[in-house]
Structure 1
Amino acid sequence: MTKFTQSDDLQGAEFVRAGLHGARFLASDLSSVVMRGVDVSGAEIDAPWLCEGGNSLLVNDVDVVPFVDAELNRRFPGRSDRRAKDPDGLRSAWAALERTWAATLERAAAMPAGTVDVSVAGEWSFAQTLRHLVLATDMWLGRAVLEIEQPFHPIGLLNAGSANGGFDMSIFTTVTPSYAEILEVRSGRFAMVREFLATVTADELAATRKNPHASDYEETTLSCLHTIFEEEWEHHRYAVRDLDAIEAKSDA
């Protein structure tokens, strides 16, 4: 199988009558790609930033982004409030998110032992997804908003390269935590966001902070919180998708 990597510059390339059946594009920039007279039957696109403001995806001259966004909101009640802008709206949106994850955790717990550690098509397992979300909270609330010098819990660091942006890597552990330990830390991070939102004011939401990945750029507290919400909802979607796949395989 031919494999193209980051070192292969395919910008502006033209594929004519090329056989791309079954090809996989991972973490690739396909923005502004133009396809004409193509067979896309059964094609699958997963673009986590698709529904952000200003993006478009034209299929037969129809922008399908609004339809995708509306369908995801229908499937996941509460998702539509992820961009709430005032304290009360954010508190309500977080409560809905907590309820959603609680139901999904119950579902995972009811599935066969070991389900939470199963990787589907090379993606993070359910347990690893929860660990990543610990990191997301630590990054965007702990580091960016609360400006804690060392906010990162080792459980959130999936590997030594995870978000290695100028913080102390001595806390990294190669020991795989138990699922119970992951749940405990994850619960604490949920409480951390809940407690912050309980008292946050409109003025505090407008306050500026350094982007945790690029300190030369500024974010508002609100934009940092919106990033946490986006991370939560997108990774919940992945988690549910993979639980569905695991369940379907076991029923086959």
Structure 2
Amino acid sequence: MTEFNADNDLQGATFTNVKLQEARFDRVDLGGARFRSSNVSGVVMRAVDVDRSEIDAPWLYDGSFMVNDVDVVPLVDAELNRRFPGRSERRATDPDGLRAAWAAVQTAWEAILQRVATMPDGTTDISVDDEFSFAQTLRHLVLATDNWLGKAVQGREQPFHPLALAGLPESTETPTYSEVLEARSSRVAMVTDFLATVTAEDLSGKRSNPNAPDWEETVLSCLHTILEEEWEHQRYAVRDLDRITGGQGRAAEGV
């Protein structure tokens, strides 16, 4: 078992692809530390100072998160539903409910697109804290649609749009914002068209998880993933647009 204590100087240390399961930290100063794409499930913290700490856990609704013996998951979920009207519909289980849920999230996105249209040129390529820029966020949602509808549900052999984006790219080639909007619009229409005719029987159909083929999904669970992606990335987009308005952010490097 790895142990860290006050005798270890970890200031400025970087840990990448390090396994620290069951590690113990005693009187360790982690002030200002950043954890990205890390598994901290089951972590226990006692007598800790968490002032000004930030946690972003998009799968928080799927478990529990205890703070001072209070499970805050329902509280966070309720607050996000309040901030984002329509979000509470994202787990609908019948065709009509799914159509309403999709319409709600796209109505919310339309308001954000209108907001962005009033902002200075270049705003859509600004990254905050090395996160997706707004244009990259839309490209990632293109990927989510292609992966979970085009590939998983519809079984398309070549489901991915050329502008679909997974992680932060290394290429210096940047599509125009209008090209990104066109790609995004085509994928919104693809989901809308699919939902227009989907039946309850269709929703129970079995599919392979597009990222882990041995894991079974249903058409319904694939659509739920698309809706979760839509709302989570909308939350990120609103957060970062607010920060850009407040003077944070930098121009994203080429995509």
Pairs aligned (count): 237
Counterparts of 1:221 and 1:230 in 2: how far apart (Å)? 14
SS of residue in 1 equivalent to 2:247: helix
Superposition pairs for residues 35-184 of structure 1, below 5 Å? 35-52=45-62, 55-157=63-165, 175-184=173-182
Query: What is aligned with 2:15?
Result: 4
Deviation of 1:196 (Å)? 0.5
Task: Indicate which of 39, 55, 59 corresponds to 1:29.
Answer: 39
Contact 1:131 1:157 in 2 (8 A): yes
Residue 24 to residue 159, structure 1, CA distance change in 2 (3 Å): closer
Deviations 1:58-111 (A, max 9, x none): 110000000000000000000000000000000000000110000001111111
Letter in 2 for 1:233: W
Deviation of 1:175 (Å)? 3.4
Structure 2 portions without partners, runs of 5+: 1-11, 249-255
SS of residue in 2 equivalent to 1:28: coil
SS of residue in 2 equivalent to 1:156: coil
Counterparts of 2:167 and 2:230 in 1: how far apart (Å)? 20
Structure with the bigger percentage of helix:
1
Counterparts of 1:2 and 1:111 in 2: how far apart (Å)? 38
Counterparts of 2:199 and 2:235 in 1: how far apart (Å)? 30
> Is residue 230 of structure 1 aligned with residue 228 of structure 2?
yes
Counterparts of 1:152 and 1:46 in 2: how far apart (Å)? 28
Counterparts of 2:94 and 2:28 in 1: how far apart (Å)? 50
Counterparts of 2:16 and 2:244 in 1: how far apart (Å)? 29
Give the aligned CA root-mean-square deviation in angstroms. Answer: 1.6
Letter in 1 for 2:90: R
Contact 2:86 2:104 in 1 (8 A): yes
TM-score (norm 2): 0.90
Residue 160 to residue 121, structure 1, CA distance change in 2 (3 Å): closer
Counterparts of 1:159 and 1:28 in 2: how far apart (Å)? 15
Contact 1:141 1:225 in 2 (8 A): yes
Letter in 1 for 2:199: T
Deviation of 1:157 (Å)? 3.4
Counterparts of 1:43 and 1:68 in 2: how far apart (Å)? 15
Contact 1:127 1:179 in 2 (8 A): yes
